[in-house]
Every structure is written in structure tokens, then in C-alpha cells.
Amino acid sequence: LLVRAARRAEARRWLAGVRPETNMALGASVRRHFPMRKVDDVVELFRSQLEKGDEPDLALLSVVTGYIENLMTCHRSVAAPVENIADDAAAKQAAFPVVEYGPIEALHAKFACQVKGSVDASLIETAGVSGTRELIKRVSDVVWSSLTRSYYKDRPHLQSLYSYLTGNKLDCFGVAFAVVAACQALGCTDVHLALSEDHAWVTFGPDNSETAEVTWHGKGNEDRRGQPIPQDKSWLYLNGHAIQCTRATEVAALVSAINPTIAAATDSAELICLQQQLLWLLYDKGHLRNYPMALGNLGELEGLFPSPGRPPPLDLLSEAVHASRTYYRDSHVYPYTYLGGYLFRSGRLKEALRAWADAADVIRKFNYGREDEEIYKEFMEIANELVPQAAKLSPSSDGGNLLQDPRCFACLLRFYDGLCAWEEGSATPVLHIGWARPLVATIAKFPAAVRAAVRVYACTGEEGEDGEEEREEGKGQEEKKKGGQPQKGQKRPPPPPTPPDEESKKNSECSSQDSTLVEGKAPKEEDFLRSLESQLGQSNGPPHPDIAALAAACAENILNPDYLLGCGEPFSTNNNGSTSKDGVNGRLSPGSPFRELDNSSSANNNNNNNNDDDDDGGDGSGKSFHKPRKASKKADSRNGGGEPSVTLSSQKMAGLRELLLSEKLNTSAIQLQVTAQSQVQVVRRGQQPGGGAPGEVSTRHSKRIRRE
């Protein structure tokens, strides 16, 4: 029937005075490959098309692959599982359908007649080989208008011209490929396909410098045909780093689009074998060199069904990452997710976590949009399923326990920092409570010692850490003007330094240092410190055990125990706190009312950790948490970075720095910070007597609306 319909259409055009073009006929060089009875016959057809003098016929190859895919998936009554026949070459060859010449020729002629009969000849002559926007818009209108009005565009097996010619159905990629194949049939040989990781459009003009939308994306049907591609920070368009296809790359895209799915849990082994061999053909000819997605597809196929004498899957996946870094400025995400998935399945969990962190480093370059649904689901699967599974399986894996490796914790922070940076500057939030709970659960599995071994820096924007400190100082001064009382984040003048050779004057100078520190404090705090000084300042005997226990417990957070005992600097310069902990455990008497201080100190530190880095007292060695970190970062760079470190550039993760490193995690605070609504500035919350901090933004009723 298809042959008769094509011949009738050709006869009508002949009677109308339109002479058929010579390239509408397939010719003897194509006909000799039919009938095709096995996978090797199809591979030979593709080889001949790639090696012939002129460019390969995209319409022919798309019709052939679509015809085979339709027979192997949509019209198969009983599908054998892939595992049963994957290693049986004879079974695969026996199950392969016979492809006759007649149906292929008829469908090819129908496509050529439909395109040439719907486009004005004058428009073709004006366009030339480079094409024009008007011609591409007209061709896309022809393809678009012939599609069925209502159908599910995200169904499988709708990417080939066979689906278009037999059912008038195409998916997003299928429409773009059909437009390029139609332009090739019209003689516009310089019109090519451009591919991102989830979209396709057309390039044309001199040096393919112009772009045009020819299809929709996702589940929408927005009419953007003919419009140029936006140059924004969108992952959908890769911000100018999409793949500019040649004819051979377009053939590779056609092969990569083959879908072997028969049912939800069943694939066609014959189609998998065909796709794998065609990809190896293109690989051997060098056409996948700058195509990371196709290299990733081939690597995944080799991981499931290894080919003897071929490179291992890890080499192919690493080559895909290298192609992204070399040709596209490391702007492709899927090479890293392919690599991470393979390493995860191979039990190399630490390397998988590092690959996923690299993927998040790529996505941070873009702003999240509502059309990024596919990559959103990819990262959600990694964050909510694969990373928790890796943490669960790691203690029994051969590669070592990642929960005991500080570098793995740094990779986890880098992964979520990339996601938060992806969210910043976007109109739609990314991270909701469904993301925050797995994050908190995974971080809680890392011991406190492992988390403390990571050097965590915060660098939000161009201001960096100094800008952050200036913002905190300004905030403290603002609160002082409003409330008449300095807050915890306010800077205080440091006390005068004590010369080391004047130890005899230390007791007499304590009062002057204390008076300097209590300036600006509340009256109650000042009275308490003066009374404590009057009781302990001139005492030479041993202090009361309760006071000693209180001093030792306070030393765990910020205070120097010698200061409360009557001498010494007010703030401890020892950061490790080992002496303080020993003092608490050793000095507590059985009847002491401060027995539980050692248990509650970590919880209090957890509640106050957002404000600890704002306290500034003493000299340079007793300054806030920012400065020692900054100095140690320089030391690390000089020493080669022996300790694991990570720099958090997103405002959300930078605000979580102290919470993540505290001995006892405050899970509620972490969840609130991760799901914060503000995309511009993260509000730091401090403890206030009888309520929250002035200007604190309440997010109790600001729920995020998102389609799960």
C-alpha cells in the first residue's frame, strides 16, 4: 500500500509538470544491501553511507532504524528477557526481522514528495545551500502541521521518520531531525543539527552562526519555531556550548536515539546489539570524538554487554568527560553522571561520589528553569537514592568506608554546594524538604572527627570572607542602634596586649582588661563580672570546685578558664579544646550542680554555632573563626593541600559551614537553611532573650509550591 501511494503521488506530480528529482530514488548502491536479515547487514548499510563520496542520506537511515525498532518493540507478542539471549549470537540473528527494499523505498519517496511539494521553489532557490530563516520556518511548519493533533509526545519510539510517515507522530528530537533531513532533501546541505543534553535545534547560515528553534521541549507545545536560541545561563541550551553537528554526528545522534525498550522491565536484545555495533562503527571512524553523550551511551552498553577486544567501559566514560572538558568548556553534566553510575554499580563508591560532585560543579554554572525537568530528576535520584545507598553499602565495600574518609565528606559538601549554586539566581526554588532530609541523614552518618578533619571555606561572590565579616559587623551596629544593646555578632574593641615579661603585673592588669571588655555590655552582665572579680581577683587559695567546673565547661566553647579564675586572657586561644574536655571530666565533684554541663555543652554549641564566628575578642590569635581559616587556607596552598578542603560558594551552604562541622548536628537548623526561600541573601539567625533576632525572616507559612 505504501508503494502504491508513493507511485500515485509521483504520477500526480508528473502530470502536473513537476519532474521528480534524481535524489528521490535510492539507487543501485543502496538497493544491493536489501533484504537485510541480520545486524551485520544494517551495519554495512551505515558503513556504505558514511564512506560514500557525498554525505549520508539522513532520511534513509532514519526510516531503516525506525522500521526495525518498530518491528522489534511495538509488534512483538512475546519478548524474551535480555539476559537470556544477550550472549547467544545465533538467537539474536534468528530473531532479527527481514527488512525488504519495497517498504523502505516507499517511505523514503513519500517523505521527499511531501517536503518538496509543500515548499515554494522560489524560497528554495533564494536559500541556497546555507538555508535561510524563512525556509527553515516553512519546513518546520510543514512537519509541525502534519503531526497528529493530540498524542503523548514523551512516549518511546517517536524519534524516527518511520513514526512520522506511518503515524504522524514525533517527539522533540524527532521534529528537529526531520527538519534537518527535509532541508537536506531540498539541497540545503549547510543546515545542521545542534544538540544540548536535552534539546535539539537547527544551525544555518555562514559558518553555521545562526540558530533557529524548530521544535518544542518537554511537555509543552509553545510555538517558538524560527526564533533564535537564547544566550542565557540555561542548562537546556548549554550557554553556547552545544554540539554543532556534522552529517556524521547527526548519524551518531540518530543511532544514540534508538530506544530498545519493549516494556518497563524488558528491552530488545537485538536492538541493543544493533545500537552497540553502530556506535562502535562511528567510534572507529572518529565521529564520536566530540560527542560526549554518544560516548556515554556506548560506555553504558559496554558495561552491560562487554565486546571482546574493545576498550573497557571506564575508558569510554573517561573519554566522554575529556570531550566535555576539551570541546565544551566542561559544560556537560551527563558525562559525569554516566561515570558516577558506572562506578556505583561497580562498587567503587568513593569515586562515584567524586564524579557526582563533579557533575554538581558543572550544573552550578547555570540557573535552574522550569524546563530543566530531566536534569532535576537526575540529581534528585542521585541525592535521594544513590548517595544514601552508597553511605549504607560503604562499610561492607572493598574500596573502604567512605564514611571514615574526610575527602568523601568534602565531596558531599561540594555536591550540595553545586545544587545550591544552581538554585541561586533562579526564579524557581530547587531544594525542598524532600532534598533536605536525605542530606541531613547522610551527613549524620559521618563521625564528628571525620567532619572536623575537612577544611571548609566560604567564598560567596566577589566579596569573599572579608565582605561577609563586614556585613556581620554592619548588622551588629544596626541592631545596636535599634535596640540600644550590642548583639552577639557585634565587634568589640580588643583588650590591650599583656607583655610576656610582666607576669607579676598580670593580676593588677586583669581589672583594666575586664573593664575594657565589659564596656557596652548590659548592666546585669557588668554587675556579674564585677562581683566575680571582687570574689576571685585577689584570691590566692584554690577556687570553689563548682566555679572551677563552670570555668572548665565554658572553655569548651569560647572562654578561657583562667579568666574566670581571676587572671589570663578572656578568650581561649586553644582551638582543639582537648585540655578543656579533660578538665571537665576530671574536676567535676559528685555533688556539683554543673555535672551535666559536659553533656549540654555540645548542644549549646550547636545552637550558637552560627554566631560563634562573629565573636571577636582578644588579640590576633583570639579573633573570630574566619581569620584562622583564611590563614590556614594559604598555608594549605603552600604545603600542597595535604588536608582535604572544600570551598563553599553558595550562600546556603556557606551559611551551613559551622552547623556541618559541629560535634552534634542540629538537623532542624540544617533543614531550615537548605529549604530557605531567599535566593539572594541568607539570613543568619541568632539567639535572643525571649524571642528571635530583630529583622529575622519567618518562613513558617512561606511554603514552596512545586510539582513533585
The Cα angle at residue 550 between residues 548 and 555, in degrees rounded to 5:
95
The pLDDT, as a whole number, for residue 224 is: 83
Q: How far apart are CA 532 and CA 527, in angstroms?
A: 9
The pLDDT, as a whole number, for residue 490 is: 41
For the purposes of burial, counting CB atoms within 10 Å of the CB of 189, is it exposed (0-12), middle (13-18) or buried (19 or more)? middle
Sign of the C-alpha dihedral computed for residues 342, 344, 347 and 350 taken in this order: positive
The pLDDT, as a whole number, for residue 125 is: 81
- pTM here is 0.70
Q: Count other C-beta atoms under 10 Å from residue 159's C-beta.
A: 27
Q: What is the pLDDT of residues 44-53, one digit of tens each?
A: 999 999 999 8
Q: How far apart are CA 301 and CA 249, in angstroms?
A: 19
Q: What is the pLDDT of residues 439-490, one digit of tens each?
A: 999 999 999 999 999 999 998 654 444 444 443 444 444 444 444 444 433 4
Q: Which of 361, 140, 375, 62 is nearest to 237 (CA)?
A: 375
**Which position has the higher pLDDT, 607 or 384?**
384
Q: What is the pLDDT of residues 267-308, one digit of tens each?
A: 999 999 999 999 999 999 999 999 999 999 999 999 999 999
- In whole numbers, what is the pLDDT of the chain averaged over residues? 76
Please state whether beta strands 200-204 and 210-212 pair in parallel, antiparallel, or not at all (unpaired).
Answer: antiparallel
CA 535 to chain centre: 60
Query: 3-state secondary structure string, 473-498?
Result: HHHHHHHHHHHCCCCCCCCCCCCCCC
Q: How far apart are CA 94 and CA 283, in angstroms?
A: 27
Question: For the chain, what is the total number of helices (H) and then of strands (E)?
Answer: 33, 8
Task: Evaluate if residue 424 carries a pLDDT over 60.
Answer: yes
Rg (CA), the chain: 34
- Residue 294, amino acid: A
The pLDDT, as a whole number, for residue 527 is: 64
Q: What is the pLDDT of residues 27-83, one digit of tens each?
A: 899 999 999 999 999 999 999 999 998 899 999 999 999 999 999 998 665 444 555
**pLDDT band at residue 120, thresholds of 50, 70 and 90?**
confident
Residues 6+ apart with CB under 8 A from 571: 558, 559, 560, 563, 615, 617, 618, 622
Task: Evaluate if residue 556 carries a pLDDT over 80.
Answer: no
Task: Evaluate if residue 560 carries a pLDDT over 70.
Answer: no
Q: How far apart are CA 354 and CA 411, in angstroms?
A: 6
The pLDDT, as a whole number, for residue 151 is: 78
Taking a C-beta distance cutoff of 8 angstroms, is the pair 339, 321 a contact? yes
**pLDDT band at residue 365, thresholds of 50, 70 and 90?**
very high
The pLDDT, as a whole number, for residue 140 is: 94
Q: Residue 641 corresponds to which cell in the numbers above? A: 593541600
Q: How far apart are CA 353 and CA 341, in angstroms?
A: 10
**Which position has the higher pLDDT, 310 or 587?**
310
Q: How far apart are CA 672 and CA 686, in angstroms?
A: 14
The pLDDT, as a whole number, for residue 153 is: 74
The Cα angle at residue 195 between residues 241 and 67, in degrees rounded to 5:
165
Task: Evaluate if residue 387 carries a pLDDT over 90.
Answer: yes
Question: Which residue matches cell numbers 569515586?
Answer: 351
Using CA atoms of 685, 690, 695, 699 in order, give the dihedral in degrees to the nearest 10: 60
Taking a C-beta distance cutoff of 8 angstroms, is the pair 614, 476 a contact? yes
